[in-house]
Amino acid sequence: MHMADALISPVVGGAMWAATAGVAAYSIKKVQTEMDEKKIPLMGVMGAFIFASQMINFTIPATGSSGHIGGGLILAILLGPYAGFLTIASVLAIQALFFADGGLLAYGCNVFNMGFFSCFIAYPLIYKVLMKKEYSTTRIFLASVLTAVIGLQLGAFGVVLETLFSGKTELPFGTFVLLMQPIHLAIGVVEGLVTAAIATYIWNARPEIMEKASSGETIGNISIKKVVAGLVAAAVVTGAGLSWFASSNPDGLEWAMIKTAGTAELEATGGLHQQLSDLQSKTAFLPDYSFKASEEEPEPSGGEGEEAWPAVDGGTSTSGLVGGSLTLILAALVGGGISLMKRRKYRINS
């Protein structure tokens, strides 16, 4: 479910970063006020545990294939939603940095899709409610599977929306949803089953851990409402701000939404690169892309906000090919030259 940078636009990435930062700030405040500092090493080591346990392949009965866990739900169950969210966030940060699993600009999207939905929506609204009365194997089983499935469905839908608003792929909304949701239904069931197995084991072996985790925080509906409200506000303000700053039509993001939903056709472009490409077409797209004429080409006359398909003709594409290859050769030469010089220096020194 990790989103890469190549598939998101700066506006979507920025808005999701803001939303994630908002939830993280709230969670940090909660952890600071409500928990003892003993939980910090626990969070750290649990993050490492999740990371390592993602390497365990669990054989899925009757299919012959195997799957691994994401770990968002087990973290929420054992650490509570706030500490769980922060732990998932740091696991994702390390995955992005060391394994390029998910991009840095897409980090906000990823934490939101994989952390927020399971810790702040699915966990309190399903798991907590189902487990309110009593702990039993059946209940743990039911609650885990249901929570994991719903958390992952929401996360997968988040991926679909974020990708579509970014407008980098041509995938129609319906196709993308039909691709993502069923796959994540299967993943969610596996996640739920494994989580249930682990939670049941812990419940049998060390019930006090589960009890402490569930009684430690007061997850009333109020705090959840606050989180959601703050978050929506943060996302809207940032999204709107970025789009306003970025695009000639102030409601670029909303426009993209309506357009996507209405026509199921992808013409959505985030605001920032729209303006930048407008700027670019003003400054760089000289007529015939040669230096003979000095007039500026009129702005691309495509539909409102529609991305300009550069009017390519034979001559310009040749220029592009020649210039492009030259640029790459130049880059390779510079890099190779520096390496060669460095190596020679070492040889002289040694």
Site for other proteins in 226-285 (CB under 8 A): 266, 269, 272-273, 276-277, 279-280, 283-285
Q: Tell me the C-alpha distance between 219 and 330, whole Å.
A: 59
The answer to the question of residue 89 lying near other proteins (CB under 8 A) is yes
Backbone angles phi, psi at 67, to 5 degrees: -140, 170
CB of 140 to other proteins, least distance (A): 10
C-alpha closest to that of 243 among 273, 209, 206 = 273
Pairing of strands 66-67, 58-59: antiparallel
The answer to the question of residue 205 lying near other proteins (CB under 8 A) is yes
- Residue with structure tokens 């009017």? 311
DSSP tally for the chain: helices H, then strands E: 13, 2
Name which position in 33, 41, 301, 303 contacts other proteins (CB under 8 A). Answer: 41
Q: Cβ closer to other proteins: 38 or 347?
A: 38
Name which position in 182, 237, 332, 344 contacts other proteins (CB under 8 A). Answer: 332
Contact positions with other proteins (CB under 8 A) in 2-31: 2, 4-10, 13, 24-25, 28, 31
Helix (H) or strand (E) holding 162: helix 137-166
Name which position in 146, 197, 228, 236 contacts other proteins (CB under 8 A). Answer: 197
The answer to the question of residue 141 lying near other proteins (CB under 8 A) is no
CB of 9 to other proteins, least distance (A): 6
The answer to the question of residue 149 lying near other proteins (CB under 8 A) is no
The answer to the question of residue 101 lying near other proteins (CB under 8 A) is yes
Burial 248-273, CB ≥16 within 10 A → b, else e = eeeebbebbeebbeeeeebbbbbbbb
Tokens describing residue 257: 């939404």
Name which position in 245, 299, 321, 344 contacts other proteins (CB under 8 A). Answer: 321
